[in-house]
Structure 1
Amino acid sequence: MKDIAWNLGSVYPSSESAAYRADKEVLVSLSATVLSLLKQAESGELEASDWLPRALESLNRLLDLSENLGSYVYAAWSVDTSNEAAQGEMDDLEERSLALKDVLVRFRSMLPGVKFESLPDYRFWLDEQVFLSKRQMSPEEEALAADLQRCGGDAWDRLHSRLSSSLDRPWDDSEKTVTQLRSLAFDADRNVRKRAWEEECAAWKGAEVSFAAALNGVKGTTVTLNTRRGWGSTLEKSLVQNRLSRTALDAMLGVMTESLPLFRRYFRAKAKMLGLPGLAWYDLFAPIKPGDTKSAGEIWSWERVSRFIPEMFDTLSIEMGDFARRAFSEGWIDASPRNGKVGGAYCTNLPLAGNGGESRILCNFDGSFDSVSTVAHELGHAWHGEVMKNLPAINREYPMTLAETASIFSETLVFRAALDRSPESSKPGIIDTYLVGASQVIVDILSRFHFESALMRYRPDGELSPAELSEIMLDAQNRTYGDALEESERHQWMWAVKGHYYSPDLAFYNFPYAFGQLFALGLYARFRKEGGDFAPRYRELLRLTGSADAVSVGKSAGFNIESPDFWHSGISTIKGFIEEFEKF
């Protein structure tokens, strides 16, 4: 496959360009202007009816600038983590963004007691900021915490990214990065899969002391700051960030736990189909029909993917399909695995790029159908940004739960359309690919939730060693995979693999994926029932995600997400595919 790299030219010509430098200067100068405005208001010189609308207008501009600059620089760094110039720009932006963080802290502290009736478009966000004002330290303490974060939690996060993107192991006459080794989990040859798993585990083990130090640093910072800010727990903060009620989370987790025997049936059926007594970790992603070029085990070309996904999006709306075509044709996607490139995948929005905003997508495409699903997933994020791009920045800030809804809906759209159009001989492989993803989102995500819950329970008592972290991870995997996965061949270093654990600002970035999966299944069922009439309703639902909580967004679609019945309905769809898979 030729090198598929993105084009950042429509964002900024370069980090040395006049446009980039000018935006950095405006970020600083406008932050200072807003701080001055807030100080005037604090002293009583201005009424709320005067300072609040002006502050909101400036905040929208500042958030756009910050996102555009930050996304651009991270994009440049993430494809080459050895890029010292990009690293330097990230450091510089972090320093320049401290003033914006100070603006938000001081803005929140002035909101209690202010009436918002004249600002209905911002009412939800303003009410949320009033609550958050009760979960922050003094402006001076918050400023110090933000400054220290640059060489604390954020630095640990960068260390993880840099190490994980450059780890490699010998392979025949060359080397393979851990990202490349992990992609061999899709290889048809079990000996290759096992060897890759062993080499990958050896790579993580060789760097486990560094990864453990980074994880302890990030979570130690999280515990300290959350305690000082008055959060009852890290999970409480995560629920607020996700705009999700504890009732809804408990209902979802309860149904996920009840579904585990169902997924173990799938694992046993897959083992039987592969001619194995049971699955090892390196068998989870194995193709079931490697000899059939029409199965999901075939190798997909990038050219085929660039046609296939837009055509599948067309089944919802031509507008969404054309958007995907634009992303492929205009160089919005960096798809090729490379040494020094971060693993996994992400989508980032650039609100000031091009004509009113663009997105960029990073992935590590390996030709598997799982990779096709990943591209569809990230394009779902991009479409979410597209339909919201004419909203104020404040009302484009949606939580992780609802962010994953758009991405997983797009995955589901591609999977179901592909399945409906496939001959019978191809369906076992396609259904298996879907169930691989569903089991990751339900079974593995639940194990990650258990791991992080235990980690946050133990971390206040001291740092955890690599062996202790691995023990907690294996226990979490045992709770969810059970006896359907060989006990001696699991992945104890998943705590080092998953970058989400290392974000100092986003703990428990696991259950939003399960939420997105099951919520998307509900939306997809509505689409199958309503057909083309669903497209405008779906668009409006996505636009609502930045100005309502998850329960309210669910109600707008006719769902009660605080009831276990809703989550059972999503699992029942997966159950149907497992029962069909068992018949093959």
Structure 2
Amino acid sequence: MYTWSLDELYKGYDESFDTDVKKVSEIITSLNQQALNLNNKEDLIAFMKLDIEFNNLAQSLVSFVSLNLATNATDTISNQKYSQLMPMFNEATKAYAYFKKFLAENKDNFDEWVLEDDFLKEHEFILREIISNSQYNLNEDVEDVIAKMKLNASSNWSKLQGYLGSMATIEYDGKTHTLSSIRNLAYSHDAKTRKEAYEKELELYTKIEDAIAFALNSIKGEVNTLSALRGYENALEQTLIASRMSKETLDALMGAIESYLPTFRKYLNHKAELLGHTNGLPWYDLFAPFETSNPKEYTVEDSREFILDSFGHFSDDLQEMARKAYDDRWIDFLPREGKRDGAFCSNQPQIKQSRVLANFDGSISDIVTIAHELGHAYHGMMIEDLSILNTNYTMPVAETASTFCENIVFNAALKTASDEEKLVLIENSISDLTQITVDIMSRYKFESEVFERRQTEFLFAADLKEIMLQAQRDTYGEGLDPEFLHPYMWACKGHYYSGGLSYYNFPYAFGGLFALGLYAQFENEGASFVPKYQALLKATTTASCEDVAMMAGIDVTQEAFWKSSLDVVAKRIDDFIALTPIK
């Protein structure tokens, strides 16, 4: 079966699901009652234990609904259940506001409480973080109103973007294509197909661009308003604090990438010449697979064998987890109408499993994508025995394990590949690294300008297209053909459409380059590195990005580390160019 099974959550919207909905409603009532009577350490512990019970049940309920919607945006029952659950969960907002207020008011007592109680000691990091961030809290009534307002604001705007992106279709080559399936043709071995699919993709957006533009404006406007109301300097400061990452680290990361843009442009121009282009690489050939005399298409079964073998070169537990993911139907593989574009992994710590959504279309890149998402699942496995309150890791470190697994697949494959296959693998790797550096920088520049301009103006689709094009010119530069860029990259990326998660772009660069540095350590240390890596992943839920990196002796606040990782990329680019001379 190529679809995932959600039976471990619920077998359907049955009596078990309804019973848990009722339990959650009762727990929320109890949380609200207890929050009004927080007076001492014992009250705090009782509230948190009830919160654990709530989180375990809520995780299963909302995941079951959301995962169903991810594969079928028109699922009427799931949409109804989502509309039922979200307002219910928001009824706990005031309780959490009182809880945070209580902690802030008792910060002087907290040191003593932690010493006296092991349960509080276990949760010390997140509780101290709540106290530290209390300056950004609003009063209980305002927090309650904001939570209710967002249900019919950013939450619904986000759903609109996802719905339009999954439901919009266009005819091409005698077939009806979704956005996901037409975008997958960017990896076709046929040059004519890639160009025509690109043109059809751009045509498809014209049907939905205005609605998605309104969604983006509404979400970014809401974030601007709320970040200012809470006292943040801007949305970026709010994101960095939530990411447990310093501006110094972000600046070092972006500064290093900026200095290596000419190296990536050299690769793009070389690929353009290999494909017969003279004015830079047109966007429709950005993901063109490097041709061999016998280009290979992969099956889902091939991906299983490839990934299990590769993961086995790292550790037995990673391989066994991947085997379980394939055998126990954790993965939904194939694109279909109504299914959302892209890929993701949803960790389910309450059942000690994960679920992976992919849109597998037979390319080596699709195998790398599955490996990436299984890296998230491995990260989830490292933290599944923690209290559920200690299972939230931040955006930058979220991409570490996933990208590390990409490196495992890449390096393991190189050891057994033929000369032609090695070239394909190296080019695929460079292409992916270009995405997590150059393209990520273009997305970061785009989102920064949208946030800035949204403070004073509404940005229509034409405005958003021009901002995106300029961001691509500033980053890809002469590496891309200026006549064939992608003005709609803001419309197809769900990362922009969250009221609670801004700037989901630079974390990919952080995770990708951080993973390269970690993989270099693995190559030097071998099997002895594995326990250190596992401990590092486990620490991501209760430490800053800088402290996590220091566990591996890495200072991410300095450009030197990021440049050392980018040197690895530069070496791959030089090797690829040397092995593929222009004839």
Work out whether the TM-score is over 0.5: yes
Which of 70, 75, 97 pairs up with 1:105?
97
| Structure-2 residue corresponding to 1:325 | 323
Residue 439 in structure 1 maps to residue 438 in structure 2? no
Change (3 A) 1:21 1:351: farther
Looking at structure 1, the residues matched to 53 and 417 of structure 2 have their Cα atoms a distance apart, in angstroms, of 48
Provide Cα deviations, 1:466-519, integer angstroms capped at 9, x if missing partner. 111111000100000001101110000111111111111111000000000011
Tell whether the 8 Å contact from 1:31 to 1:99 is kept in structure 2 after alignment. Answer: yes
C-alpha distance in structure 1 between counterparts of 2:199 and 2:346, whole Å: 33
Give the match for residue 75 of structure 1: 67
Give the letter for the 2:45 counterpart: P
Q: Find the aligned partners of 1:349 and 1:192 in 2 and give their Cα distance.
A: 36
Would you say the 8 A contact 2:350–2:384 is kept in 1? no
Contact kept? 1:72, 1:350, Cα under 8 Å: no
Deviation at 1:290, TM superposition (A): 4.5
User: Contact 2:170–2:178 at 8 Å: present in 1 too?
Assistant: yes
Distance 2:27 2:66 in 1: 22
- For the residues of structure 1 that align with 2:572 and 2:92, how far apart are their CA atoms? 48
CA contact (8 A) 1:273 1:288 kept: no
Letter in 2 for 1:19: S
Q: Distance in 1 between matches of 2:187 and 2:342?
A: 15
Kept after mapping to 2: 8 A contact 1:183/1:366: yes
- 1:66 and 2:96 equivalent? no
* Bigger mean CA offset, 299-308 vs 512-521: 299-308
- The residue identity in structure 2 corresponding to 1:281 is W
2:19 alignment partner in structure 1: 22
The answer to whether structure 1 residue 313 and structure 2 residue 315 are counterparts is no
User: How big is the shift at 1:365?
Assistant: 0.3
Say whether the 8 Å CA contact 1:11–1:352 is kept in structure 2: no
Mapping for residues 281-292 of structure 1, pairs under 5 Å: 281-292=283-294
1:272 is aligned to 2:264: no
- CA drift of 1:248 comes to 0.5
Instruction: Quote the offset at 1:70 in angstroms.
Output: 1.3
Q: Which residue of structure 1 lines up, in the alignment, with residue 494 of structure 2?
A: 499
CA contact (8 A) 1:271 1:279 kept: yes
Residue-by-residue CA offset, 1:26-84 (whole Å, 9 max, x unaligned): 2221222122122112xxxx32x211222222222222222221111100111010101
| Secondary structure at the counterpart of residue 478 of structure 1 | helix
Deviates more, 1:185-194 or 1:451-460: 185-194
Counterpart of 1:581 in structure 2 is 576
1:150-549 matches, cutoff 5 A: 150-277=151-278, 278-293=280-295, 298-353=296-351, 357-549=352-544
Q: For structure 2, which runs of at least 5 residues remain unmatched after alignment?
A: none
* Structure 1 length-normalised TM: 0.96
In 2, Cα distance between the equivalents of 1:139 and 1:37? 14
Is the CA contact (8 Å cut-off) linking 2:256 and 2:562 kept in structure 1?
A: yes
Which 4+ runs in 1 deviate beyond 6 A? none
CA contact (8 A) 1:335 1:362 kept: yes
CA–CA distance in structure 1, aligned partners of residues 173 and 186 of structure 2: 17
1:249-277 per-residue CA deviation (whole Å, 9 max, x = no partner) reads 10000001111000001101111222222
Aligned residue for 1:275, secondary structure, equals: coil
Q: Which moved more, 1:256-265 or 1:26-35?
A: 26-35
Q: AA paired with 1:166?
A: M
State the SS of the aligned residue for 1:359.
Answer: strand
Deviation digits for residues 424-452 of structure 1 (CA, Å, limit 9, x no counterpart):
22111110100110000000000000000
Considering only aligned residues, what root-mean-square deviation do their CA atoms show, in Å? 1.2
Q: Secondary structure at the match of 1:9?
A: coil
3-state DSSP of counterpart to 1:562: coil
CA contact (8 A) 2:31 2:92 kept: no
The answer as to whether partners of 2:292 and 2:420 remain within 8 angstroms in 1 is: no
Aligned-partner Cα distance in 1 for 2:398–2:229 = 29
Give percent identity, aligned residues only: 34
Q: Decide which of 48, 52, 56 is 2:44's aligned counterpart.
A: 52
DSSP-derived class of the 1:134 partner: helix
* Aligned residues of 1:219 and 1:456 also touching (Cα < 8 A): yes
